[in-house]
Amino acid sequence: NSWKAVSREGYDKPRALFPDVALEFIRKTQARKWEKLEKLHGAKTGEIILADLCRMLDKLGCLPVIRHGFKCYGQLLHMAFYKPAHGLNPEAEELYAANCLGVTRQLQYSERNTNELDLTLSLNGIPVTTAELKNPMTGSTVVHAEAQYRQDRDSRETIFSFKRRTLVHFAVDTERVTMTTKLADSATVFLPF
């Protein structure tokens, strides 16, 4: 699957996800379940699905929801489909191909300030990776990116909240890459990648 640009304007700051991408993925890959939910909820179907998705992301975490899906009014909705072990099932191949791997540049993620993340990667509307990109030729390195995460990124923001949304945060320059899975403000520990 190829990565595609996802507009930062489509980002929902309070929910910390790209709701239109998530709903489009569910509608496209699980049409029968969507129709059943739509019979119950009509025009409010999307909002109800998003509310249940966010509730499960907050309760279980990003990884379990991506792996196992979440329930919405008795319907198990998947947020990702995995590559089949063989090509004998064309339907499984189609579902896998429907995954939307998104790239968003300069994402303003907060309702409290105008800070931006250099790069955000998402899977079907759920942000899974952030990165701060630096260039030593302009005087900034991985060390500056790490400091930016420690000092300028509030770990209480939903997008940074441990396990709830993003799974990993990268500090990147042209020579080195470090990463962390948990932002803890000034106590954040980065490891070589």
Can you say how many angstroms the Cα of residue 6 is from the centroid of all Cα atoms in its chain? 11
Do residues 177 and 170 touch, judged by C-beta distance below 8 A?
yes
Do residues 121 and 148 touch, judged by C-beta distance below 8 A?
no
Mean pLDDT value across residues 148-166: 94
Given a cut of 70, is residue 1 above it in pLDDT? no
d(CA 75, CA 71): 5
Residue-level pLDDT at 42: 96
Q: Dihedrals φ, ψ of 50, to 5°?
A: -65, -40
pLDDT digits (tens, 9 = 90+) for 174-183: 999 999 999 9
Residue-level pLDDT at 86: 85
pLDDT digits (tens, 9 = 90+) for 84-135: 988 788 999 999 999 999 999 999 999 999 999 999 999 999 999 999 999 9
Residue-level pLDDT at 89: 86
CB atoms within 10 A of CB 147: 16
Given a cut of 70, is residue 149 above it in pLDDT? yes
DSSP states of 52-65? HHHHHHHHH-HHHH
Mean pLDDT value across residues 148-176: 95
What pairs with residue 121 in β-bridges? Answer: 103, 129
Residue-level pLDDT at 87: 79
Which of 5-9, 27-31, 65-69, 86-90 is the least confident region? 86-90
CA-CA-CA-CA torsion for 8, 13, 15, 21, nearest 10 degrees?
-10
Given a cut of 90, is residue 168 above it in pLDDT? yes
Sign of the dihedral defined by the CA atoms of residues 121, 123, 164, 14, in that order: positive
pLDDT digits (tens, 9 = 90+) for 48-95: 999 999 999 999 999 999 999 999 999 999 999 999 988 788 999 999
